[in-house]
Chain A
Amino acid sequence: MRFLAVIVHYLIWHYGRAVVEFSHIYKNIIAFIFNFFSVPILLKSYFAPWRRMGEAYPKDVLNFGELASVLVVNLIMRLVGIVMRTVMIIVGLSVTLLVIVFYPIILSFWLGLPFIVLLLVILGLGLLFK
């Protein structure tokens, strides 16, 4: 009787509170992955030059040759930054998406877990005493 009470208590937890807590932890992990790949920071500094590299513009604004050369270098640095950040953002978002997609699968496994255990015991005993 006491054993049955414990089982019932457990099942109430398994299909009630545990699901909420599982979702809570999952949310933490998604947030962690999103931040791990620094998606928000990369978006904020999306157009900034790669590692702030660049050259100072000449004081003589009429020196068009020098001006153009600095402009090109700085443009390249920004392009490199954009490319690198784009790659990282794509990777980050993909991994986050993958983890999100896995949520219903893992949740289904959790919901079916008591039945899986039961099936494994029946199957195991069946095979053992066949």
Chain B
Amino acid sequence: MDIKQLLKNSPLYPILIIESVFSTRRRKVAINLAGFLFLALFGLATFLSASSDRLALLAPKVWGLVSLGLAFYLVNKMINLYFNSSYYFDNIALNRYRPGDLFTFTVGRVLMATKNNDVLQGFLSANSGRRIMKRCGISDRLVDEFLAKRPVGQFYKLPLNPDQVLKLRELAKFLFANDPTFAQFLADNNINEERLVGAVSWVVYEIEYGEYRKRWWSETNLSRLPGLAKDWGFGTTYYLDQYSWDLLYGLEFSSNLYEFSAREEEVNQVANILAKNREANVFVVADSANERMDIIWHLVRQIKDGEAAPALEHKRPVLFNSAVFLAHFKEKAELEQELLRILKEVQSAGNIILIFDNFITLLQGFMALKSDFLSLLYPYLSTTTVPVIGLASNDDFHRDLESNGSLMALFDRIFIRPLPAESVIRNLEQTVWTIESKHRLFFTYPALLAIVNGADKYFVTSDSGDKAIDLLTEIIPWAKQKSYQVIREEEVEELIKSKSGVPVGKIAPAEREKLLNLEKNLQARVIGQKEAIMAVANALRRARAGVRNDKKPVGSFLFLGPTGVGKTETAKAVAETMFGDEKNMVRLDMAEYQTPEGADKIIGSLADGQPGVLANLVREHPYGVLLLDEFEKAHADVHNLFLTVFDEGYFTDKSGRQVSLRNLIIIATSNAGADLIWQMVRAGKRPEQEADTLINDLITKAIFKPELLNRFDAVVIYHPLSSDELKQIARLLLSRLAKRLADQGITLEVNDYLAGVVAQLGANELFGARPMQRYIQDHIEQQVADSLVKGDIKSGTRVGFAPKTEAGEPELVVK
């Protein structure tokens, strides 16, 4: 297929030629230059004509130049108008097409840049292609290197047919599918087809958005300009203006058909309610203030653009600042009088939509002065003259408003749903343009995806519905501080890691080392229990490698075994190894939730207005290890709650908000089955290998339901510790004491005798190694402390322990 011939046959050819020979930017420069030259020459010619005889002789020549300059200016203008006529009137700028078109204008520009029919070369050389590559995070240098290296003269049969016009998106997909070298080049730069298509869509959207806004002469753009005397038919609002913000004039914000709105459904619902004949009031409920205001802004835009229902035409949405209003008054009477004045004013003005920015604040503010806000408001709510929009968070709405029947009879409710990921990306794309032009930063498309995914994955407990925008906004000062100009996926991951402490993105060499040596690191703290540690280590490696299911917690384990065998110690070791510090483990004593009210305590209760213990704990510590101690003691309802948690990675609290546990490793410990474990050990069996018998026993005794046990990633059996293992633990604990004493200059000799006696006398069958620490404290530390106080030992002294009695009780010996 000859590309040149294809272009010549296209109806777009004339404007493509103009654009390639005399681009929009060049035309703009030429017009300005010609205009300036004309004016300068005109001034000179006038001066010469009025000057002395000799200079006046030059005047005709300069007038000739003036005439030519004006002609040049006009010709430039005519070419520009000719271009614009096709470009804008046929919506070619917006990549729409006419009968006979085989491709869009943007594709046409790629084909114009094509040499030797090599379309990929044209794509990567055209401005749009270069921009797409940059959005993919691939620099011009890399593209040039790729073009220089690849075999010359790749020919493709472009998918052109009159029924389906070829757009840039389809062209990019076609090149990706048909040119393996291109696909490989992109893969080397971590770009797959989905990312390429996303970047193309973003660039095309950017071009079309920019072109749309240039069309000032369109009916929509002209109608957006504010007119005169629009409000002469309505009353003034002197009192209201002191505490409010007129949203129509208070903020100049852009709006046009291209303005993306994923909120259209909710905005229309609000508009329909406000257009009702009576009780035109609505609560807009969302957790994030930005989400609530987003709806309001879209409504304002509809009214401003004349797109709203006739009943809302010429309405003035006014945002009432509750905090400012309340701050003005200390006396009940004054407060009430002012509110009534405002409401009367709104009623007589006839065109106000009263928006309370925080309905609950107002309600509580009035209550603080022992006044009833609602009873003052009620008489106005049933009329159409005072349409009210109340903004509230989910918590506030469910706790304080929903139960008020008479209020609910006068208000409709709109609950704002979370935006799907595609809409969030679209919103971000628009926001990024503003940030880029304001802060001289450049975002790649993978960075944008990393923001959306990162916000969703790692900031799940955030109240904000638009946390992706929050994360994007946080990047600006952070990037400036680090002198980053281009924000790629790696930079976003770096920020997320620094904010959450959770390692994300590619595995760094140091972290790889840590993951490969997980067993070794865990065993340094947990003696014995090899099988248990191996099960945990494998699960953690799966999680970090990205193989795990994102919709579940990082890992969920049930540790079964007698007391004092290392279950809690393993949890601490996991927190230290994976999250840097054992402080990243939070513990919930499940014995406190034995009653049927246990579940309420955990997820919160509407009755007492208290948030749940687990909900709070997880919101404060969204990353790390969650230890559920004595899990078997919790009530069955609590166990049922954890069915969802292990399955979906979240639970819903009483106010309807989802609390995510997807960034936590959940470890439940239990002594249930300890008797059976002991019996197995006494019978010479290895409990780790008898897991099925043990689990069946727990199910038979109705301690755990089978569906709960099945949901754990692993049920890990801890065996009672052997005397050798107890001795190792004793040695570990004693070495910690030795380290503490070494800080004071005292050397403690930890020998076989001491470790043996601590293991023998400190541990017991019932509590395993747990009492050992207490034994060391009472019998070893105490003797050292006494001697220190008496002055028998001091810095530089070497001490050891020897048997005091026949039973082997240790006695301090100064060496």
Q: Which residues of A contact B234 (CB under 8 A)?
A: 51-52
Does A116 count as interface, using CB distance less than 8 angstroms?
A: yes
Q: Which residues of A contact B78 (CB under 8 A)?
A: 10, 14, 113-114, 117
Please state if B74 and A120 are interface contacts (CB–CB under 8 Å): yes
Alpha-carbon separation in the docked complex, A25 to B60 (Å) = 39
With A25-B217, A35-B223, A37-B228 known as contacts, the answer to whether A123 contacts B235 (CB < 8 A) is: no
Q: Can you report 6 A-B residue pairs in the complex whose CB atoms are below 8 A from each other? A: A41-B229, A45-B232, A51-B236, A85-B232, A117-B78, A121-B67
Q: Which residues of B contact A25 (CB under 8 A)?
A: 217
Alpha-carbon separation in the docked complex, A45 to B230 (Å) = 11
Does A31 count as interface, using CB distance less than 8 angstroms?
A: yes
**Chain B, 210-234, contact with A by CB distance < 8 Å: what is the 0/1 string?**
0000000111001101011111111
In chain B, what residue has the closest Cβ to A122? B67
In chain A, what residue has the closest Cβ to B235? A52
Segment among B81-89, B426-434, B614-622, B637-645 that sits at the interface with chain A: B81-89
In chain B, what residue has the closest Cβ to A35? B227
8 pairs of A and B residues whose beta carbons are closest in the complex: A127-B64, A124-B67, A45-B233, A128-B64, A52-B235, A124-B68, A120-B71, A32-B222
Please state if A124 and B314 are interface contacts (CB–CB under 8 Å): no
With A18-B85, A85-B232 known as contacts, the answer to whether A125 contacts B68 (CB < 8 A) is: yes
B-contacting residues, A71-130, CB 8 Å = 81, 84-85, 88, 113-114, 116-117, 120-121, 123-130
With A13-B82, A128-B61 known as contacts, the answer to whether A37 contacts B74 (CB < 8 A) is: no
Q: Which residues of A contact B67 (CB under 8 A)?
A: 120-121, 123-124, 127
With A36-B225, A121-B71 known as contacts, the answer to whether A28 contacts B218 (CB < 8 A) is: yes
With A10-B82, A45-B233, A120-B74 known as contacts, the answer to whether A128 contacts B349 (CB < 8 A) is: no
Partner of B227, one of A36, A84, A124: A36
B-contacting residues, A17-74, CB 8 Å = 17-18, 21, 25, 28-29, 31-32, 35-38, 41-42, 44-45, 48, 50-53
A-contacting residues, B335-383, CB 8 Å = 348-350
Please state if B223 and A32 are interface contacts (CB–CB under 8 Å): yes
In chain A, what residue has the closest Cβ to B227? A36
Does B75 count as interface, using CB distance less than 8 angstroms?
A: yes
In chain A, what residue has the closest Cβ to B68? A124
Additional pairs, 12, CB under 8 Å, beyond known A14-B78, A41-B229: A17-B85, A45-B233, A52-B233, A52-B235, A52-B350, A53-B236, A117-B75, A121-B68, A123-B67, A124-B67, A124-B68, A124-B71
What size tier do the contact residues of chain B reach?
Answer: 35 or more
Alpha-carbon separation in the docked complex, A107 to B70 (Å) = 19
Alpha-carbon separation in the docked complex, A127 to B70 (Å) = 14
Most buried by B among A81, A84, A123, A127: A127
In chain B, what residue has the closest Cβ to A56? B348
Distance in Å from the Cβ of A12 to the closest Cβ of chain B?
11
Alpha-carbon separation in the docked complex, A48 to B351 (Å) = 14
Q: Which residues of A contact B74 (CB under 8 A)?
A: 113, 116-117, 120
Please state if B85 and A124 are interface contacts (CB–CB under 8 Å): no
Alpha-carbon separation in the docked complex, A60 to B348 (Å) = 22
Please state if A32 and B232 are interface contacts (CB–CB under 8 Å): no
Please state if B64 and A123 are interface contacts (CB–CB under 8 Å): yes
Q: Which residues of B contact A29 (CB under 8 A)?
A: 217, 222
What size tier do the contact residues of chain A reach?
Answer: 35 or more
Alpha-carbon separation in the docked complex, A51 to B230 (Å) = 11
Which A residues have a C-beta under 8 Å from some C-beta of B? 6, 9-10, 13-14, 17-18, 21, 25, 28-29, 31-32, 35-38, 41-42, 44-45, 48, 50-53, 81, 84-85, 88, 113-114, 116-117, 120-121, 123-130
In chain A, what residue has the closest Cβ to B75? A117
In chain B, what residue has the closest Cβ to A116? B74
Alpha-carbon separation in the docked complex, A113 to B645 (Å) = 76
Partner of B314, one of A41, A117, A121, A130: A41
Please state if A42 and B232 are interface contacts (CB–CB under 8 Å): yes
Does B63 count as interface, using CB distance less than 8 angstroms?
A: yes
Which B residues have a C-beta under 8 Å from some C-beta of A? 14, 60-61, 63-71, 74-75, 78, 81-82, 85, 89, 217-219, 222-223, 225, 227-236, 314, 348-350
Alpha-carbon separation in the docked complex, A130 to B70 (Å) = 19
Alpha-carbon separation in the docked complex, A130 to B235 (Å) = 71
Alpha-carbon separation in the docked complex, A124 to B67 (Å) = 5
Please state if B64 and A37 are interface contacts (CB–CB under 8 Å): no
In chain B, what residue has the closest Cβ to A126? B64
Alpha-carbon separation in the docked complex, A13 to B82 (Å) = 8
Partner of B230, one of A38, A114, A128: A38
Distance in Å from the Cβ of A116 to the closest Cβ of chain B?
7
Partner of A127, one of B61, B229, B230: B61
Distance in Å from the Cβ of A17 to the closest Cβ of chain B?
7
Alpha-carbon separation in the docked complex, A38 to B227 (Å) = 7
Please state if A36 and B61 are interface contacts (CB–CB under 8 Å): no
With A41-B229, A51-B235, A120-B74 known as contacts, the answer to whether A125 contacts B85 (CB < 8 A) is: no
In chain A, what residue has the closest Cβ to B62? A127
Distance in Å from the Cβ of B343 to the closest Cβ of chain A?
15
Q: Which residues of A contact B314 (CB under 8 A)?
A: 41
With A127-B61, A128-B65 known as contacts, the answer to whether A42 contacts B85 (CB < 8 A) is: no
Distance in Å from the Cβ of B31 to the closest Cβ of chain A?
14
Please state if B232 and A130 are interface contacts (CB–CB under 8 Å): no
Distance in Å from the Cβ of B307 to the closest Cβ of chain A?
15
Q: Which residues of B contact A88 (CB under 8 A)?
A: 228-229, 232
Please state if A41 and B225 are interface contacts (CB–CB under 8 Å): no
With A51-B234, A120-B68, A121-B68 known as contacts, the answer to whether A42 contacts B229 (CB < 8 A) is: yes
Please state if B65 and A44 are interface contacts (CB–CB under 8 Å): no
Q: Which residues of B contact A41 (CB under 8 A)?
A: 229-230, 232-233, 314
In chain B, what residue has the closest Cβ to A88? B229
Please state if A48 and B233 are interface contacts (CB–CB under 8 Å): yes
Most buried by A among B65, B229, B236: B229
With A18-B85, A38-B228 known as contacts, the answer to whether A124 contacts B235 (CB < 8 A) is: no
In chain A, what residue has the closest Cβ to B71? A120
Q: Which residues of A contact B60 (CB under 8 A)?
A: 127, 130
In chain B, what residue has the closest Cβ to A37? B228
Distance in Å from the Cβ of A46 to the closest Cβ of chain B?
9
Please state if B61 and A81 are interface contacts (CB–CB under 8 Å): no
Please state if B217 and A28 are interface contacts (CB–CB under 8 Å): yes
Distance in Å from the Cβ of B263 to the closest Cβ of chain A?
28
Alpha-carbon separation in the docked complex, A52 to B67 (Å) = 59
Q: Which residues of A contact B61 (CB under 8 A)?
A: 127-128, 130
Distance in Å from the Cβ of B234 to the closest Cβ of chain A?
6
Distance in Å from the Cβ of B100 to the closest Cβ of chain A?
16
With A18-B81, A51-B234 known as contacts, the answer to whether A117 contacts B217 (CB < 8 A) is: no
Distance in Å from the Cβ of A103 to the closest Cβ of chain B?
15
Alpha-carbon separation in the docked complex, A97 to B61 (Å) = 42
Please state if B64 and A9 are interface contacts (CB–CB under 8 Å): no
In chain B, what residue has the closest Cβ to A24? B89
Alpha-carbon separation in the docked complex, A74 to B234 (Å) = 15
Q: Which residues of A contact B235 (CB under 8 A)?
A: 51-53
